[in-house]
Structures are given as structure tokens and as C-alpha cells.
Chain A
């Protein structure tokens, strides 16, 4: 990955607010989010709130705007500290993301801040190319990644489509009670 891309993705945002996470079955999670202007100050503020909320939730590596009740196509991600991560692009926010290419499906278990009681076995691509805009600058970026970052991006883009991992559960036994490690 290029240093230029990382520089484009790196955000220098005002400190955001920690927002309340919405939980299923809230309808906002099942509604397709709408495109938004990446340069709109409200979008920049939303990006900051997503990062703040994500950082405040233990184990949360990605957050879509509708998970804090905003039906706009924006998500934040930071899988840099996750053990299943290979390629990663640090902590970033993507506006109006579009999955351009996805291949090499693998099944793995994933959880969601909005579905706190369950985890699910979901098949997702392990090679992924996603395009989108950076909040603030509006820069058009194309991210190519793999492994856990690819899974996390697909999970967040699903949110923006109004889909939860529950919609992609691989069969009748694909949902599990979430283990509490604390």
C-alpha cells in the first residue's frame, strides 16, 4: 500500500462525541443509508463521532453511521491491533464506500456492537477492493486489503445497506451466544 494513500486516509479531526450505540431490532439498522457529501462539515463531525464512539466501545473495530442512529453512508474502521489482521490501513473513515472487487470467500465468526448477545458464522471475501471518499478533503481513495480488514469493511458496508450479520448467517446453527470474556 502506498504512503500517499495512508496520508490521504489519516484524519486530523476535532474530538468527536461518544454517541449511544443503536441495537437491533432498531429499524435504522435495517434501512439502507443514503449517500452524503464528504466535505460537508456535518459529515466531518459525524466521522469524528464514529471514531470517538468506536474507541470507547471495548473490542469495537468498526462502526457504521446507522449504528449511532445516522442513516448516512459513512463508516469508521481500525483493525490495526487485531490478531487476525494482515494488511491494514490504520484508523480511517470512509464516506460513500463501494465494494469494487471481492474474492476468495472464507467463513469466520464475527460479532457486532448492535447485536451484543450473538456472534455469527459468515462467509466473506478475504480479498477486497473498496472505493470511497475521505471526510473533510473529499479525496477519492481506493483501498485494496485482505483478511480481517476485508471482513470488517464488508461488515460495515453491509450495515450501510441495512444488513446485519444475522442476514448472512450460514445456516441454522450459525448463530452463537456471545461469550463474555471480562
Chain B
């Protein structure tokens, strides 16, 4: 027998971004505040970019936007910004990367935009991106989803042309499937 619940909790989904000066306790503070509303942290990604704290998290909880904002507001500081975005319940699923893109060369403006514009022009989607600068060496690594039907050879030619213009090295490789044991 199947019983329907009379009171279906209205769980809302939010994206929370926390960006600014790092200090110990930011993660503990934000998760603690969300926990007071039964917040359930789903996917999240946090890193330090040149010492700056950068965190995006997806959280589901039974509260409206204003309540979430009020809950998190005391944790914000002049140099640590917290923003909350309410998400539509249905989000498109994750796209598995089909290719890995590597770019490296002398730092100059416009490398990321020029290379990713070529990918976008072919209908490709960047699913993950890391950029690094050390001295004059600039490195871009991207996971790319190329839909079926994309002519990879043509895309590689276009990337080679852009890399020659920019004076950087660009490599597009088929992403390895993860081993499953």
C-alpha cells in the first residue's frame, strides 16, 4: 500500500556564492547557518584563487529566498561577499566531457576568450575550467563537451589557427573514460 503524505515539504534550491578574503571558519560558518534551516548541501566547489576564497554551492532547504539571505547576511564582511540565487527546480543534467583542452603560452589578454569562442562556435560546451598564471606562463585547462556531429578535425584546425595568432600552444585530446573497478 502506498500512502501519500499530506504535507509535502516545499524544498527550494539555491545557489550560494561566497567570494572574498580568506580566513579560517568561512565554510564552517556558512554551512552552520544553512544547517539551522535544515539546508542540504548538494554539489559545491571551493578553492583559493591567489589566496582569495571562492565558493559556489548548491543547497536545498525549506525556506524562502529572503530567509536564506537573512540567515547568511551576518557572515558577510566588507571583503567577503555572499550572494544567493534561487534556482528553478529542474536543472539540466551534467554533461560529461568528451575532450580535454590544454592551452599554454605567454600571458596576454584574450587567450581564454579567443580559444573558447572557437569551441563555442563549433557548438561545444565548456564543462570545467581552470586557468593559472605563474610568472609569464599562462595555462588554461578546460573540459569540453562536444555534441555528436562536431567535426573534430575542423575544430582542431580552427584552434591551431587561433593558437598561431596568439602565439600559444593548444591541444585538444579525447577525454579518457574513467576506469570503473
Contact = CB atoms under 8 A, between A and B. Distances in A.
Most buried by B among A25, A117, A166, A172: A172
B97 interface: yes
Nearest to A174: B141
Nearest to B47: A173
A168 interface: yes
B128 A173 contact: yes
A63 interface: no
A65 B125 CA distance: 38
B132 A167 contact: no
A167 B137 contact: no
A172 B143 contact: yes
Contacts of A164: 104, 169
B70 interface: no
A117 B97 contact: no
B120 to A, nearest CB: 16
Interface in B100-123: 100, 102, 104-106
18 contacts: A25-B106, A25-B137, A30-B169, A117-B134, A117-B137, A118-B139, A166-B102, A167-B171, A168-B102, A168-B171, A169-B100, A169-B141, A170-B176, A172-B100, A172-B129, A175-B130, A175-B132, A175-B139
Interface in B137-154: 137-139, 141-143
Interface of B: 97, 100, 102, 104-106, 128-130, 132, 134-139, 141-143, 168-169, 171, 173, 175-176
Contact of A25 (B104, B128, B173): B104
B132 to A, nearest CB: 6
Contact of A166 (B106, B139, B143, B176): B139
Nearest to A172: B128
A43 to B, nearest CB: 27
Given A25-B137, A169-B102, A171-B100, 13 more contacts: A24-B137, A25-B106, A117-B135, A118-B134, A164-B169, A167-B102, A167-B104, A170-B100, A171-B97, A172-B100, A173-B128, A174-B100, A175-B132
A115 interface: yes
A126 interface: no
Most buried by B among A25, A115, A167, A171: A171
Interface of B is mostly: strand
Interface of A: 23-25, 30, 115-118, 123, 163-164, 166-175
A87 B169 CA distance: 34
B175 A167 contact: no
A115 B105 CA distance: 11
A55 to B, nearest CB: 25
A175 B102 CA distance: 10
Contacts of B102: 166-169
Nearest to A178: B134
A30 B105 CA distance: 9
Contacts of B176: 123, 170
Contacts of A23: 135, 137
A121 to B, nearest CB: 11
B73 to A, nearest CB: 32
Given A118-B132, A123-B176, A172 B169 contact: no
A117 B104 CA distance: 13
B137 A172 contact: no
